[in-house]
Structures are given as structure tokens and as C-alpha cells.
Amino acid sequence: MSENNDVKKEVTDKYSLRGRVYNRLREDILSGKLKENEELREISIGEELGVSRTPVREAFRQLELEGLITIIPNKGAFVTGITGKDVKDIYMIRSHLEGLCARLACDHITDEQLEEMEENIYLGEFHASKGHMDQMAELDNRFHDILYEACDSKMLENLLKDYHQYVLRIRKKTLSTSRGTVSNEEHRAIMEAIKAHDHKQAEKLANKHINNAYQNMVDNGLYNLYGNPE
């Protein structure tokens, strides 16, 4: 549960050494640059980034609470592995919460948010047809962020954003397939349902959207890259 103020957090991350270390390590773990069970030594990390052990240690504590590393007392810090089961569970949970989020959005979405969604989808059609994968990933990110913001629940929004981040590296690969176009169409359907205040339909579609993303990943054998599938 990290329900802290995002704005202030960004400031911290940008200007403090601890924040820089935290972001860097987080990125490296999520991107797979740091592999499962790899040991992180305070001194070498510090030297690499040109800082002392103190900010490194503080970053470690955060990463530990986030579950990205496991700290064994007096022994060291190790990259926590995500098993295939974990990924499956995350998608299951996300699918539920994303449905809930879409349902809530029916009542709380603003005109500005709806407009940005429409623009997002419109652009998505263009980039999907052109095969611009980076832009598609970017648009997908943004679509879901808007949806999360539209539910008008900071708690749910932050939770969903956490999970979204967590599966970032997986999603990046998934969207590199032909799913880009289909995904964009699903976004449109979700948006239409929200626009029409059709709670049930919005929930159902958002739910399905996440399940589809997972299914697609499994079908393409992509999730085996991230730890043993069980």
C-alpha cells in the first residue's frame, strides 16, 4: 500500500540521492536488467551511482517494502523473483479491480477525462496501423492512468497504478504483438460504456480487457521469461 502524495514523491525522487537510487534500482529490476536472486551490495551500488551507502540503504528499505528485493539481516539484499503464479494472480486481481474502477468511472469521470480518452483511442488507431509499438505502449499506459484517475478513489487509483507498474516489463512485450489493435478497440468499448453510464457493461468490459491481456501473454509464451511458471 503506497498511498502517498504522488507530487511530493516525484519531487523527492528527482532531487534527493535516495530517490535517484530508488528509481534507478526499481527500473533495473522491473526491466530485468537486475536478475532474480541477484545480490545487491551497498558499496558497489553506491560507487556505481557516485553516492555513499546511506542513500543506498534507504532506497533498499523502500524496495524491500515494495517487494522488489528481499533483505536478509546481516547478509544482504537480493532481487525478489516474480513467479508465473504471481503474474497470474496479479492479472486476476487487476482484472477485478479494473472492473470496479470502470464501474466507478461511470459516475465520476469528467468531460476532460472522456475527451482525453477519445483522443487517446483515436491516436491509437493511427499508431496501431503503422506498427508504432513504442507509441502504442505509451498510449496504453496513459489510457489506463486516465481510467484510474476517473474512478475518483485515490486508494483504488494508487493500488491499480502500483500493479500496473509491476507488470510493466511484461506488458511492453505483450503489446509488441498484433494485440495492439485489438486492445485499442477494447479501450474504445470501455470508453463508450462509461460514456453511456452503463455500469455493468463497463465493469464487464474492463474485466475482460485485463483477462484478455493475460491470455494473450500466455498464448505467446511470454510469461515464462519472468521466473518459473509455478
Partner DNA sequence: ATAATCAAGATTGTATACAATAATACAATT
Partner DNA sequence: AATTGTATTATTGTATACAATCTTGATTAT
Residue with smaller CB distance to DNA, 16 or 181? 16
Provide φ and ψ at 167, rounded to 5°: -105, 20
How many CB atoms neighbour CB 97 within 10 A?
19
User: Taking CB under 8 A as the rule, which mask of x and - marks residues 73-102 in contact with a second copy?
Assistant: x------x----xx--xx-xx--xx--x--
Count of positions on this chain that bind a second copy (CB under 8 A): 44
Choose from a second copy, DNA, none: what does 225 bind? Cβ within 5-8 Å by kind. Answer: none
Choose from a second copy, DNA, none: what does 43 bind? Cβ within 5-8 Å by kind. Answer: DNA
Rounded alpha-carbon distances, angstroms, from residue 25 to 19, 118, 163: 10, 35, 17
Give one DSSP letter per residue of 130-149, joined into a string: HT-HHHHHHHHHHHHHHHHH
Q: Is 200 exposed, middle or buried (0-12, 13-18, 19+ CB in 10 A)?
A: exposed
Secondary structure letter of residue 220 according to DSSP: T
Of the ranges 10-18, 31-39, 40-48, 213-221, which one interacts with a second copy (CB under 8 A)?
10-18
Kindly state whether residue 5 participates in binding DNA, applying the rule CB under 7 A. Answer: no
Choose from a second copy, DNA, none: what does 105 bind? Cβ within 5-8 Å by kind. Answer: none
Among 71, 123, 218, 222, interactor with a second copy by CB under 8 A: 71
Rounded Cα gap, residues 65 and 81, in angstroms: 14
Rounded Cα gap, residues 135 and 58, in angstroms: 34
Residue 99's region, left for phi above 0, alpha for psi from -120 to 50, else beta, is alpha
Binding residues for a second copy, per CB under 8 A? 1-5, 8, 11-12, 15-16, 18, 54, 57-59, 61-62, 64-67, 70-73, 80, 85-86, 89-90, 92-93, 96-97, 100, 153-156, 158-159, 162-163, 166
The site for DNA (CB under 7 A) is made up of 16-18, 39-43, 46, 50-55, 57, 71, 73-77
